[in-house]
Structure 1
Amino acid sequence: MNPRDSHPVSLPIDVTIQILARLPTKSLLRFRSVCKLWREVLSQKQFVDLHFALSSRTRGVAIESPDHAASTPDLRAESGVYYVCNPMTREFRVLPRTRERPFTRSEPEYEATLVGLGFDPATWRIHVAIAGFHRSFGRWPRGGDRRLVCKVFDAATGAWTRFAASMCDEFTCMNRNQSVYAGCSMNWLTHCCRYVSVLDLENMLWGKITLPDEVLATRQGTRFYLLELEGSVSVVQMSRFWMSTWVLKDRAKEEWALVDRVNLRCIDGYAASVFPISQTKDVVFMATQKKILMHDRNSRVWKEVYGVEGNFTYPLWFSAFTFGSTLFPCRQGALGS
């Protein structure tokens, strides 16, 4: 054996980058300690963007345990202080306080009625939006007197922008936190399930997008969920036997397209309580109280990907989240840089 053959062969850096970009995030975090060159390469924006583009083709499912709730979500709030975190890298950044004065009876914590987080992987720009109906002296305003107070955090400026708008919409407890970020806007499904409430983050204006006519005509006795699909706003309509998925094709013209209609008879025992939690063009993730199901849109096959046994009372539809693996730096000072 030639002694020179025992020495490792050095690959071109371009080939090394392509190999590393296809590895899981946890492996890359360990590989940062291999050498200074790898640490530098894995920290560059070009590599992070490449890794995100490749890893975004697959989705993972994270289960938030009540005992370890802080390790999974991307946005958290404690006593008026919000922070954003990357659960894969365990880095986080505390956002500036939304207000300095303490909450009082005449100025309650109205801000958390609506909560939304937006992340643009192309620019690494993060937006956080919180909004709520102002009520003075502990009374809820009625009719046209309702004033929605909004605050938007922009990582580019590092500050909150506050504005108010007149709005009479209602939101269910679940819809308040189910926002979809698309086209530099935050979207929430209203309680009446007739339209989507839209917050334009560029112009700080509220708008509405009416749901498809077919959805409005058949909404009696059905449930609705707002999700993201390939960077667009999507509405999922569920009845006992069918699940219809619509995607917004043209925001200005309010044009929707039917993406898929799935027969739920194969999961008839769960159809009444199953919730869609995420989707791609190929699969849909659904959550019941104790199971996570996956539907393959190409093969039309259902598969159980996670299940809890025993007396588990914390419903998975509240604690299950899907995510795309990313090395996006979320440490203090990294957002928007």
Structure 2
Amino acid sequence: MRRGTAARALSAVLMAAGLAAGCTASGGSTDDGRGSTAPSSRDPRPNGADGPSVLAVKIDNVPAARPHTGVDAADVVYVEQVEGGLSRLMAVYATRLPESVGPVRSARESDLELLRQFGRPVLAFSGAQSRLLPLIDRAPLEGVTPESSSGAFRRGTDRSAPHDLYLRPERLMDDPPGRAALTTGFRFGPPPAGGEPEDALTVRYPAARFTFTWSDADGRWPVSLDGVPATTTEGDRLAPATVVVQYVTVRPSDYGDFLGNNTPYTETVGSGEATVLRDGRAYEANWSRPTAEDGTSFTTEDGERMDFARGQVWVVYAQAA
């Protein structure tokens, strides 16, 4: 049975016993959230090498990390669960680069699968636990950390570590790579027939909550995080044109944090159901990503292509039933 779309509060309580409470990862590897300080031999990929690709930035999303900087300039914002039922963002930039992005935090194993669709993206992150670093080094991406590219990062003065690290994208790329680098599989155009009127939708993780409320005046979905309006450091409201709640498999990984919480692994390859919000309506859809190199296609229940509204897209990964 498909999920209803009226007055919903979607629960994504992801294996609370195994993920939120957690268990120590095999081998005893831990991550305190600040990332490993092990240096990297990588240099950021210059524009034009093997074709332009996107800039992806891993962003902190606990209350102490808000408001965010530069998230409103992203073309796509991915939301995924991390340890303790909390959440992090992955902001992807192709059409414009903000002066600053952050706070920047550590990478997770799921990020490697998610980013395969972009060819060879630049991934800016604060670090990762030691056992994950070799996987990142072998992945088809250019990892950028404060240790490998110190000039591309700065520390803010109004917050304490680890919520004070910011990326300066112009230190990595002279120009944005352009819309062609957005190999997400998303299509943009007029809304399909059908759908149901929707005023608000909430997605819940064990320790995080996202609410998207339709604004007729702005033609967007203003975001609230844990019941508080989400704004930028300049005071502007975060408000995507399209919101996708994508139902996926979220399972334990082989990694954990220093508290013993297991790191969830979000599987983004496969197929399943989704709810797409655009133009004040909710559409039940199906998603498909056959391989990690593919983008994700969306179709309506009738099998027609699901087009998104032009503007920023948020993709929230929620546990499939």
* TM-score, structure 1 as length reference: 0.26
Q: Please state which structure has a larger fraction of its residues in helix.
A: 1
Q: Please state which structure has a larger fraction of its residues in strand.
A: 1
Query: Structure with the greater relative contact order (CA < 8 A, sep ≥ 6): 1 or 2?
Result: 2
